[in-house]
A and B are shown apart, each in its own frame.
Chain A
Amino acid sequence: GEDVEQSLFLSVREGDSSVINCTYTDSSSTYLYWYKQEPGAGLQLLTYIFSNMDMKQDQRLTVLLNKKDKHLSLRIADTQTGDSAIYFCAERRQGGKLIFGQGTELSVKP
């Protein structure tokens, strides 16, 4: 299909790890992105990964890419209440267009 798929909701306890999953569609996509949206705000770029990489780590964030299965995940270590937000994955298709998933709403409970 044409869509980038994400589950809509994830709930974790403060201090646990969160894993947000995404399935994209175009095997020729060159870059994949994770954005964060806090309530009533725009999207903030968290991190991105080039398609020839399997993993990228940036402080508490770890991105894993399984190109064979077209699966992308974002792991947030030691999740805090300030991490509560909607997380969007996006793929950059041939020609430059960014296609976004539906977003996963992460709820962090104290």
Chain B
Amino acid sequence: DGGITQSPKYLFRKEGQNVTLSCEQNLNHDAMYWYRQDPGQGLRLIYYSQIVNDFQKGDIAEGYSVSREKKESFPLTVTSAQKNPTAFYLCASSITWDTNYGYTFGSGTRLTVV
């Protein structure tokens, strides 16, 4: 079955450490996205990639980095520069950047700084 897999489901990080969240899709989608979800604030776009080997900053990119070396993979690194990283992180993909069909989401990774 096609879909998006995020791992791990839960992640704990010590202050000052970088951590990488995995996102893999087998839908053959060109575009991929990372969102951060905080209670009462909805989804905020961190980074997006319209096509392999290309990515752009979203609305809250500071303290995060991404790569898109393979079409199916879009890992997100939360760096020590991110001041408040505890949140629920969602990865999504779409057939193309400008599709009308909406996005397919992964099941999320909950990151907690301890």
Contacts and interface: CB of A to CB of B under 8 A. Distances in A.
B98 A43 contact: no
Interface residues of B, number: 23
Interface string A12-41: 000000000000000000110101000011
A75 interface: no
A42 B33 CA distance: 13
Interface in B63-100: 90, 92, 97-100
Interface in A60-105: 88, 90, 92, 95-98, 100-103
A96 B107 contact: no
Contact of B90 (A4, A42, A98, A102): A42
A10 interface: no
Given A96-B97, A100-B42, A101-B42, A45 B103 contact: yes
Interface string B94-114: 000111111111111010000
A41 B40 contact: no
A100 B58 CA distance: 13
Given A30-B100, A31-B100, A43-B90, A103 B42 contact: yes
Contacts of B42: 4, 88, 100-103
Nearest to B45: A97
Contacts of B99: 96
B43 A44 contact: no
A55 interface: no
B76 to A, nearest CB: 15
Contact of B102 (A41, A45, A102): A45
Interface of A: 4, 8, 30-31, 33, 35, 40-45, 48, 50, 88, 90, 92, 95-98, 100-103
Cβ-closest 9 pairs across A and B = A42-B105, A96-B98, A102-B42, A100-B43, A43-B105, A42-B107, A45-B102, A96-B97, A100-B42
